[in-house]
Copies of this chain bind each other. A is one copy, B any other.
Amino acid sequence: VGTGNSETVKAYLDTLASTEQSLALDRLSDEERHAVLTTLVPEDAADLVALLPDVQAIELIEDLTPGEAAAIIDELPSNLKADLIGELEDDDAAAILNVMEPQAAADCLRLSEYEDDEAGGLMVTEMLKYPVTWTGAQVIADLGDNADLYRDYDVQYAYLVDDQERLIGVLRMRDLLLSKRGTPIIENMIANPLSVEDKSKIGELIDLFDRHHFFGVPVVTSTDGKLIGVVHRAAVEEARAEQHDSDFLKTQGIVGGEEIRSMPLIVRARRRLAWLSVNIVLNMLAASVIAVYQDTLSSVIALAVFLPIISDMSGCSGNQAVAVSLRELSMGLVRESEWMRVWLKEVSVGMINGLALGVLIAGVSFVWKGNVYLGLVVGLALCLNTMIAVSIGGLVPLVLKRFKVDPAIAAGPILTTVTDMCGFFLVLSIASSMLDKLQ
C-alpha cells in the first residue's frame, strides 16, 4: 500500500469481496488506512467508505484533510453523505462543508439534520423530477442527454412537480413508453400519488411498504409540501436490520448499541464499564438479602450451593420473556397497555417450566443430602421464582417503553436485580421457617 499507486490499490481491492474489503481495511493501522483512501481516486474511495460500518467510516474521514474528505464525500450517495456529515464532530463537519461547493454543502447540511429513522434521513435525493407541464418528448430527450448522471438512479418512476416544486403526480416509465411522444405527461401520470412527509418515522414507512408493492415512495416537506427525495424499500429494510442489530448489542450491555473491535480500547472499555458498574451496584443490592439471612445460611450451608443456581435460572427464564416482549413490541404484535394479556401468557408458561425445574432441582438436592425438606425449600423457591421472573421479564419492556426508556438496554438489569432479590428471599425465608427440619 505504502508505495502503490491508485491503480494497483484499486486492482487489488477489486479482487476482494466487499466483506473482505472491510475486513482488510479494519486490520490496517490508521496511517495505512489513510494512505489507501488518499491513494485511490475519490470515486473509488467513496465506494469503499460506503461499504464500511458508520463508526469506522467516520474515524477514517476524520483523519483526512477537509479537502480530501470533501472530495470523497462528494461522490457518496446523498443519504450516506448526510449520515456522515451528521455524525462527524461539529468542527470537522464545518471544515469539510467549507471546502465543498456552497450549494452541495447547503444540501448536505439540510439533509444531515434529519434523524436516521426518519423519511428525510432514509431518502435519496437522486431521482427523476420533471415539471408537470412537460411533454413525453421532453422527458425522453432529458433521459438521453443525462444518461450518465442517471446511471444509478431508479428510473422506474419519474416524479412530476408544479412550479412550486410540489408533487403533482407520478409518471411510470412504462406508461411513457406506451404513449405517443408528443403527449403532455400530465395525461399519463398517476395523479394524487401516495407520499410521506420528511419527518415520518420508520414505523410508518414499514407499514406503508407492507401494504403496497412499491419499490419507493416520494418524500415531501411537512412545511410546504415540496418534493425533496425518495425512500426506497431496500433502505427501510436495511434500517430495520440495523435497528435490530443495535438493539441486540444493547440487550447484551453494549451502551450505545455499537462496538467494533478496531475502535480505540479506551472507548470500548468505557462503554462496557458504564453498564457493568450499574449492574454491580444492583447486584450488591440483591446480594444484601443474603447478608440479612447469614445465620440461616451458616446453619444450612448447603443452601449456599443453590443460591447461584436459583439466581441464574430465574435470570434465564426471565430473559426469554424479555426477548419475546422486545420482539413483539418491535413487530407491533403487542401494545404497551396489554400487560394483562402478556402476564397471563407468561405466567402460564412460567407455571409449567417452574414446576419442571423445581421438581428437578428438588430431586437433585434430595439425592445429594437425603433431606426431603431441603428439596422442598429449593424446589418451591425455584418454581415460584420462575413465575415471578417470567412475569417481570414479560412486563418490564412494556413499562419501560411506556415511560420512554429504551427497553433493550434497561430491561435486563432490572429483571435480574428483582429476580435475584426474590429468589434469595424465597430460599432463605422458607428455609428459616423450617430451620429445625433442615439441620
Interface of A toward B, CB cutoff 8 Å:
17-20, 22-23, 26, 47, 50-51, 53, 140, 143-144, 147, 150-152, 154-156, 172-174, 176-178, 203, 206-207, 209-211, 213, 215, 232-234, 236-238, 240-241, 244-245, 247-249, 251-254, 259-262, 265-266, 268-269, 272-273, 275-277, 279-280, 283-284, 286-288, 290-291, 294, 297-298, 301-302, 304-309, 311-313, 315-317, 319-320, 322-324, 327-328, 331-335, 341-342, 345, 348-349, 352-353, 356-357, 360-361, 364, 368, 416, 420, 424
Cβ distance A147 to chain B, nearest Cβ, rounded Å: 8
A-B contact pairs, 24 of them (CB 8 A): A18-B211, A19-B331, A19-B332, A47-B211, A50-B210, A155-B156, A215-B215, A215-B232, A237-B238, A245-B327, A247-B248, A248-B248, A251-B252, A252-B319, A253-B316, A261-B328, A261-B333, A261-B341, A272-B353, A273-B356, A276-B316, A294-B302, A308-B420, A308-B424
A319 contact set on B, CB distance < 8 A: 252-253
Task: Tell me whether B237 and A332 are in contact (CB under 8 A).
Answer: no
Cβ distance A291 to chain B, nearest Cβ, rounded Å: 5
> A251-B252, A309-B287, A319-B253 known; A277 and B360 CB under 8 Å?
yes
- Find the residue from A178, A272, A312, A349 having the highest chain B CB count within 10 A: A312
Q: How far is the CA of A232 from the CA of B213 in the complex (A)?
A: 12
Q: How far is the CA of A245 from the CA of B203 in the complex (A)?
A: 16
Cβ distance A30 to chain B, nearest Cβ, rounded Å: 16
A420 contact set on B, CB distance < 8 A: 308, 312
> A210-B18, A253-B316, A353-B269 known; A154 and B152 CB under 8 Å?
no
Instruction: Determine the residue in chain B with the shortest Cβ distance to A126.
Output: B213
Task: Tell me whether A252 and B178 are in contact (CB under 8 A).
Answer: no
Could you tell me the dominant secondary structure of chain A's interface residues?
helix
Contact of A144 among B19, B178, B275 (CB under 8 A): B178
| 4 tightest A-B CB contacts, nearest first | A19-B332, A237-B237, A252-B323, A241-B241
Cβ distance A328 to chain B, nearest Cβ, rounded Å: 6
A237 contact set on B, CB distance < 8 A: 234, 237-238, 240-241
Task: Tell me whether B22 and A261 are in contact (CB under 8 A).
Answer: no
Task: Tell me whether A249 and B309 are in contact (CB under 8 A).
Answer: no
Beyond A143-B178, A234-B234, list 15 extra A-B contacts (CB 8 Å).
A19-B203, A22-B333, A23-B332, A53-B333, A144-B178, A151-B213, A155-B156, A176-B177, A232-B234, A244-B248, A249-B327, A259-B327, A265-B345, A275-B320, A311-B311
Task: Tell me whether A286 and B272 are in contact (CB under 8 A).
Answer: no
Task: Tell me whether B213 and A277 are in contact (CB under 8 A).
Answer: no
Contact of A234 among B143, B155, B233, B312 (CB under 8 A): B233
Task: Tell me whether B294 and A301 are in contact (CB under 8 A).
Answer: yes
Q: How far is the CA of A368 from the CA of B290 in the complex (A)?
A: 13
Task: Tell me whether B297 and A301 are in contact (CB under 8 A).
Answer: yes
Q: How far is the CA of A312 from the CA of B345 in the complex (A)?
A: 28
Contact of A155 among B173, B245, B317, B328 (CB under 8 A): B173
Task: Tell me whether A324 and B176 are in contact (CB under 8 A).
Answer: no
Q: How far is the CA of A265 from the CA of B344 in the complex (A)?
A: 11
Q: How far is the CA of A277 from the CA of B281 in the complex (A)?
A: 29
Instruction: Determine the residue in chain B with the shortest Cβ distance to A269.
Output: B352
A361 contact set on B, CB distance < 8 A: 280, 284
A251 contact set on B, CB distance < 8 A: 248, 252
Q: How far is the CA of A85 from the CA of B37 in the complex (A)?
A: 49
Cβ distance A18 to chain B, nearest Cβ, rounded Å: 4
Q: How far is the CA of A315 from the CA of B291 in the complex (A)?
A: 22
Q: How far is the CA of A319 from the CA of B287 in the complex (A)?
A: 21
A294 contact set on B, CB distance < 8 A: 301-302, 304-305
Q: How far is the CA of A301 from the CA of B411 in the complex (A)?
A: 31
Q: How far is the CA of A266 from the CA of B348 in the complex (A)?
A: 10
A262 contact set on B, CB distance < 8 A: 333
> A152-B213, A333-B260 known; A348 and B307 CB under 8 Å?
no
